[in-house]
Amino acid sequence: MNPFPSTEKKETRAGFGDGLLELGKQNQDVVALSADLSGSLKMDAFIGVFPDRFIQVGIAEANMISIAAGLTIGGKIPFTGTFANFSTGRVYDQIRQSVAYSNKNVKICASHAGLTLGEDGATHQILEDIGMMRMLPNMTVIVPCDYNQTRAATLAIADYFGPVYLRFGRPKVPNFTPPDQPFEIGKAQKLVDGEDVTIIATGHMVWQALEAREILLEKGIRAEVINIHTIKPFDEEAVLNSVKKTGCVVTAEEHQRNGGLGDAVAQLLCRYYPAPVEMVAVNDSFGESGKPEELMVKYGLDSAHIIDAALKVGSRHS
């Protein structure tokens, strides 16, 4: 049975909002910015308690990123909040020059990432952001898997000096990791031991991986499940250790196949330990309007597709 029973569903973005409020109490240097999406980012509680440390920038994301970079000069730790689409693609050059290349202590906090944004459709469903961000030197890329982990990650990135991209989402999803967990940037989490196949997942897909593991077990396949909450820096050792044991890998992410977690795993394995890899990811297409769960099924991002991938990669291995 699933060793991580979920008692309730919560939004990962609420984990960000609650983490931000806690940070506000802990660290006087933390300031928050939003580009007219503070409610969607669950920043209201922070704004209520710390109105003087919130900067409403309006619908001007490029301005927001560069203002955040400027705020670091003076010792502030700015957390910017908008949708993932407007946090990355729209402002790539601002992030590249004023944040990453300048190595500024800006935390780019991005909600509504991926298909689970739902009905607003492909204009808002960014599936390329992990790739864009992990290509940038100096950038740390974090994709927590549930509410508790998003809250923990929000707290952890304030204590780390440097640019961070923190990606989370819109819908309520199972909240299965422990409250008040320590969050170690760059450290993979092995959730379940297994010998036959390694499933490496990130974000909303970690729960799907755990569900897939249950079904695979019924079929006599013991899958090891690893949560990669930090895509960069990438925990190479944890992945290599697992794959040396299982010999094959399924990756799962709410992102394009190009540039994401699957790419990071494949890049690692082809250099140090060639092994079959199947990638559960969006295959070079845009999304569309629909309910989040409908979209995840249509675009192949659910436990059924992870199971299929595990069976396929297992046959390639043997």
Partner 1 sequence: MYDLTAIASQVRRDVIRMISAVQSGHPGGSLGCADFFTVLYFDVLRHNPTTFTMDGKGEDLFFLSNGHLSAAWYSVLARSGYFPVRELGSFRKLNSRLQGHPTTHEGLPGIRMSSGSLGQGLSVGAGAGLAKKMNRDDHLVYVLTGDGELQEGQIWEAAMFAAARKIDNLIVTVDYNNKQIDGPVDQVVSLGNLRAKWEAFGWEVLEMNGNDIPDVQNTLGKARSQCGKEKPVVILMHTEMGFGVDFMMGTHKWHGSAPNAEQTAVALGQLKETVGDY
| CA-CA-CA-CA torsion sign (97, 168, 77, 44) | positive
Under the criterion CB under 8 A, does residue 31 sit at the interface with partner 1? yes
User: Residue 26 Cβ, how far from partner 1 at the closest point, in Å?
Assistant: 17
Contact, 146 vs 173, CB < 8 A? yes
Q: Which of 271, 249, 274, 247 is CA-nearest to residue 262?
A: 249
Q: By C-beta, is 76 or 257 nearer to partner 1? A: 76
CA distances from 95 to 31, 62, 73, 164 (A): 18, 9, 16, 10
CB of 97 to partner 1, least distance (A): 5
Asked if residues 194 and 246 have their Cβ atoms less than 8 Å apart, the reply is yes
* Binding status of residue 98 toward partner 1 by CB under 8 A: yes
Select 91 or 225, whichever has its Cβ closest to partner 1: 91
Residue among 61 and 278 whose Cβ is closer to partner 1: 61
**Among residues 109 and 277, whose Cβ is nearest to partner 1?**
109
Quick one: which H or E segment has residue 198?
strand 197-201
Q: Which residues inside 246-265 make contact with partner 1, applying CB under 8 A?
A: none
Closer Cβ to partner 1, 69 or 209, answer by number: 69
Smallest separation (angstroms) from partner 1 to the CB of 101: 5
Task: Enter the DSSP assignment of 175.
Answer: -
* Stretch of 74-82, 115-123, 219-227, 275-283 lying at the interface with partner 1 (CB under 8 A): 74-82
Q: Tell me how far apart the alpha carbons of residues 288 and 297 are, in angstroms, rounded to a whole number.
A: 12
Phi, psi of 184 (to 5 degrees): -105, 110
d(CA 145, CA 167): 10
The least CB distance from residue 104 to partner 1, in Å, is: 8
Catalytic residue check, 61: yes
- Catalytic residue (one of 61, 253, 254, 278): 61
Looking at the annotation, which residues are catalytic?
61
Give the footprint of partner 1 on this chain (CB under 8 A): 31, 52-53, 55, 57-58, 60, 62-63, 65-76, 78, 93-94, 96-98, 101-104
